[in-house]
Structure 1
Amino acid sequence: MKAFIRNNYGGPEVLQLQEVDKPIVKDGCILVRVLANSANPADWHILRGKPFFARFTFGLFKPKEKIAGCDFAGIVDQVGNNVTHFKVGQPVFGESLMGGAFAEYVCIPEDFCAIIPEGVGFPEMAGLPTAGLTAWQALTTHGKIKKGETVLINGSSGGVGHFAVQLAKALGAQVTAICSSRNIDFVRSLGADHVVAYDIDNIHLHSVKYDLVLDVNGNLSYADFRRMGKRGVMVGFTTMRHMISVLFKRAFGKFPLVSFTANANSRDLKELALLMQDGRIRTCIDKYFNYKEIPAAIGYIEDMRTRGKVVMLWNEL
């Protein structure tokens, strides 16, 4: 099968399209014929081995998993022993933070997948797993958002952010979204009640109080969280120095602030699939790439100006 291999850490240029052996199906896993992938900031962080402490998980000097990629959507090709929820031929989507998805086939534990609902396409579902799970768990598991509460979402036009706006509205919250002025109309189309353009208004002086502040962009300070929120969730960060500063102040402060990495699980993926099927959320695709252009797709999202998601196709869908 064809797969994008990396033998060392580095930029998109380290990805090489090669012929490799098809994965052997393990117990409790399914083998999926991949029809679409999506690109995430996590992909280029893992690709570059940054931040450095992440290498204790992904490989200290070289990547443990040579095949890159997290998000996928495709069709079940084989099922392993003890698999109970999937059958050959079913359309599925899922996520593997350890990699392996940028290939014609991926072997994945069944707990990291869910069935694609009828009427929803492979590209849309390929764009959902990592970004959708992060937004969902930020709002529900860690943000404890309740109907009628107010939420401020910083970084509302990107992959995670555009799902967060839609999910917060689906959960009955009043949403204020922070984005650039060029994305105001886009964010409003997602359901945002109010929009703050960071290139017009200084968000570090924004003084409105919200029940929850969700920082996807990763540039809010600890003082920003305290000033604007009753509680906060931090998903991303702009620099290691910024992250350490916020987490250090959190350790000695009393403000309820959570920093987390999304946990892939079939329960949450099913919830997202139902919301997609009901039309309460949608994947907004900024740009399509052919599978041969996966390195270019990673480079594209590294510029951090993506509106919604970037999807890569393994055939013409």
Structure 2
Amino acid sequence: MKAIAQDVYGSADVLRLREVDRPSIGDDEVLVQVRAAGVDPGVWVCMTGRPYGVRVAFGLTRPKVSVRGRALAGVVVAVGAGVQRFKPGDEVYGTSPRSGTFAEYAAAPAKRLAPKPPRLSFEQAAAVPISAVTALECVRDGGHVHAGQRVMVIGAAGGIGSFAVQIAKASGAKVTGVCGTGKVDLVRSFGADEVIDYTQEEVDRDGPSYDVIIDLAGCRPLSLLRRALTPRGTLVLAGGGHDAGGLLGGYTRQLRAPFVSMFTSQRLRGVTSKERAQELEELAELIESGAVTPAIDRTYPLADAPDAIRYLAEGHPAGKIVVTVGSGPSTDAP
């Protein structure tokens, strides 16, 4: 099968479109013919091996998984002996941590897949599994957002932020989005009640007035964010700062958060995506109700996946970037 793969860490220049073996599946796995794959900062991290601390998990000297990509939407072509939830022909979305998704086929654990929401195209569905799941966990588990609260989303125009604004609004909160000048109207279209243009004003302009702040940008010090938070408010940190350099990049803030919380009435929490079917099924309900719709900035064909990652690395995409892989029924399924 065709796939975007690499043998060494580096920039997008190390990626090649080449023929690789189609992945085999275990008893609890599903083989998916990939129609579209999401592009997120985690793809950049696995490609570059930065920040360097991630190499403990992804490979010390070279990537353990050579094919890039993690999120997918596609059609089931085969299931393992222990899989009962899916059958060939089912349309699914989810993640494939073992085989990569910038490829014509991917092997994915059944527990990381869910039925694709009928309302979405494959391209839209591929935008959901990592970014929207992270946003859901920021709003629900990290911030415990509920009706009547004031919520700020920093990085509101990005992949996670575009979902976080919508999910917070669906929870009944009054939402302020933070973004650059050119994306103010876009963030309002997500449902934000107010928008702060960070090129003109800082996030603490209104003083300690937010019950929950979800920071996805990763570039502001904790002290500044806490100034915008109510005395018993919650600061949720997710993503951001992957390219900040050093051993852990911008993720040091997430590690510091629990220790800072020990000495203040404010709660500081770091969030990472769990990538489970349960969250995908919850999101499907929000999507089918019309409360959440993926925002796609650009799509790229599989051969141009390196350009998709270059565009992501430039920063500030408006919504999600997606790689399209194939269309039509599989003609060579095992």
- TM superposition score category, shorter chain reference: over 0.9
The answer as to whether partners of 2:102 and 2:323 remain within 8 angstroms in 1 is no
The aligned residue for residue 272 of structure 1 is 283
Match for 2:318: what amino acid?
R
Tell me the distance in 1 between the aligned counterparts of 2:156 and 2:136: 14
Alpha-carbon shift at residue 249 of structure 1 (Å): 6.7
Percent identical: 34
Query: What residue is the counterpart of 1:256 in the other structure?
Result: 267
Q: Does 1:135 align with 2:146?
A: no
Q: Secondary structure at the match of 1:43?
A: helix
- Alignment correspondent of 2:293: 282
3-state SS of 1:129 partner: coil
1-side partners of 2:272 and 2:89: how far apart?
Answer: 31
Deviating above 4 A after TM superposition, structure 1's stretches of 4 or more consecutive aligned residues are: 240-243
Is the aligned partner of 1:311 residue 2:312?
Answer: no
Aligned to 1:89: 89
Q: SS at 1:108's partner residue?
A: strand
How many angstroms apart in 1 are the aligned matches of 2:37 and 2:116?
A: 14
CA contact (8 A) 1:31 1:108 kept: yes
CA contact (8 A) 1:155 1:161 kept: yes
- Asked if the contact 1:221–1:246 (Cα under 8 Å) also holds between the matched residues in 2, the reply is no
In structure 1, the partner of 2:101 is 101
Aligned pairs for 1:30-41 within 5 A: 30-41=30-41
Give the whole-Å Cα distance in 1 for the aligned partners of 2:98 and 2:193: 37
RMSD between aligned alpha carbons?
Answer: 1.7
Secondary structure, counterpart of 1:9 in structure 2? coil
Q: Does residue 299 of the first structure (1) align with residue 307 of the second (2)?
A: no
Which range moves more in the overlay, 186-195 or 250-259? 250-259
Question: Which residue number corresponds to residue 159 of structure 1?
Answer: 159
* Distance change in 2, residues 1:130/1:245 (3 Å): closer
For 2:94 and 2:249, how far apart are their aligned partners in 1?
A: 32
1:229-277 CA-to-partner distances (Å, cap 9, x unmatched) read 2111111233356543674475243331111221110000011112112
Residue pair 1:32, 1:107 contacting (<8 A) in 2 also: yes
Residue identity matched to 1:244: T
Distance 1:227 1:98 in 2: 42
- 1:1-317 matches, within 5 Å, as 1-97=1-97, 100-203=100-203, 205-229=205-229, 230-238=233-241, 239=244, 240=248, 243-244=251-252, 247-248=255-256, 251-252=259-260, 253-254=263-264, 255-315=266-326
TM-score (norm 1): 0.95
Q: Which runs of 5+ in 2 are unaligned?
A: 329-334
Q: Deviations over 1:271-311 (max 9, x none)?
A: 11121122111111111111110111011111112000111
Instruction: Tell me the secondary structure at the aligned position of residue 45 of structure 1.
Output: helix
Counterpart of 2:140 in structure 1: which amino acid? T
- 1:52 is aligned with what amino acid? Y
1:195 & 1:245 partners in 2: Cα distance? 25
Residues of 1 paired with 2:257 and 2:114: CA distance? 39
Separation of aligned partners in 2, 1:267 and 1:102: 24
Alpha-carbon shift at residue 14 of structure 1 (Å) = 1.0
Secondary structure, aligned partner of 2:130: helix
Cα gap change, 1:76 to 1:52, in 2 (>3 Å): same
* Aligned partner letter, 1:225: L
Structure 1 contact 290–314 (Cα < 8 Å) conserved: yes
Within 2, Cα distance between the matches of 1:141 and 1:261? 11
Give the Cα–Cα distance (whole angstroms) in 2 for the partners of residues 146 and 249 of structure 1: 22
Q: What is the letter of the counterpart of residue 305 of structure 1? A: H
Amino acid at match of 1:167: I
Over 3 Å counting, the alpha-carbon distance change for 1:102 and 1:172 in structure 2 is same
